[in-house]
Amino acid sequence: MALTGGIASGKTTVSDRWAELGAVIVDSDVLAREVVEKGTPGLAEVAERFGDEVLAADGTLDRKALAAKVFGDDAARADLEGILHPLIRARGAELEKSAPEGALVVHVIPLLVEIDRVGEFDTIVVVDVPEDVQLARAMSRDGATEQQVRARIAAQATRAERLAVATHVIDNSADLAHLLVETDRVWTKLRKGAVMKSGARRADG
């Protein structure tokens, strides 16, 4: 199962709540950092492609230096994604395989639509928020200008594109209390669906 949504949509709040309820969270942003930690094959690949100048003095990844290398360079960004995405997917698969039996595994993938991973999941949950609310929240959270946030929104899939692939939608157009009610509502549906699938497998067996 995948959880996605645009910038400042509330994905973290949803995934944190589901973790409290017993879900195993596989966060692609966390994995993206993990696969290039000091000493990993991923970091070695990045350094080989972009040069030792993307490494800090202590041998860790200098993220600002790497960002400067790929900013505005589509070919460089594609090369970086070509290194990271297979490693992230492989690590995510490992975590899913090691999850306790019966646990709901939730892959949090902000760019699910953009990187064409929709077909990998039979259930997709979209945290949906109107663009004006999204804009205001991102500006407040990140201290960014309206122009900066609009540019980030424009670089992502549209709201309509995300909703088109949704199995379930969590509405985050109101306050936190409303979001948690929505989150629990969808969780109940997901658990019911998981129980039904488990029962069907036992019957087939």
- The CATH number of residue 153's host domain is 3.40.50.300
pLDDT confidence band for 197 (50 / 70 / 90) = low
Backbone angles phi, psi at 10, to 5 degrees: 110, 15
7: its two tokens: 């910038």
In the DSSP assignment, the letter for residue 55 is B
pLDDT at residue 196, as a whole number: 55
Evaluate whether residue 194 is within a structural domain: yes
Cα(152)–Cα(156) distance, integer angstroms: 7
Say whether both 47 and 146 belong to one domain.
Answer: no
pLDDT confidence band for 23 (50 / 70 / 90) = very high
Evaluate whether residue 205 is within a structural domain: no
Cα(37)–Cα(155) distance, integer angstroms: 27
Say whether both 79 and 65 belong to one domain.
Answer: yes
What is the mean predicted confidence (pLDDT) over 174-188? 96
Say whether both 43 and 63 belong to one domain.
Answer: yes
CA dihedral over 144, 147, 152, 156, signed as positive or negative = positive
Domain extent, residue 97, equals 33-103
For residue range 32-81, what is the model confidence (pLDDT) as tens digits? 999 999 999 999 999 999 999 999 999 999 999 999 998 888 899 899 99
pLDDT at residue 195, as a whole number: 60
In the DSSP assignment, the letter for residue 101 is T
Say whether both 119 and 169 belong to one domain.
Answer: yes
Say whether both 123 and 181 belong to one domain.
Answer: yes
- pTM of the entire structure? 0.86
Q: Which of 80, 103, 126 is the last residue of a domain?
A: 103
Say whether both 129 and 157 belong to one domain.
Answer: yes
Say whether both 110 and 97 belong to one domain.
Answer: no
